Amino acid sequence: MNITPQPIPSLAGTNKWLLGAALLGFLLLIYLVAVDQGFLLSLVQGNIAFDQSLIHELTHDARHAAGFPCH
Closer to other proteins by Cβ: residue 32 or 42: 32
Closer to other proteins by Cβ: residue 35 or 42: 35
- Binding mask of the shown chain, residues 24 to 53, with x at each position contacting other proteins by CB under 8 A: -xx--xx-xxxx-x--------------xx
Q: 55: burial class by Cβ within 10 Å (0-12, 13-18, 19+)?
A: buried
Taking the C-alpha atoms of residue 49 and residue 53, their distance in angstroms, rounded to an integer, is 5
Taking the C-alpha atoms of residue 39 and residue 48, their distance in angstroms, rounded to an integer, is 10
Judged by the rule CB under 8 A, the positions of this chain that interact with other proteins are: 1, 3, 9, 14-15, 18-19, 22-23, 25-26, 29-30, 32-35, 37, 52-54, 57-71
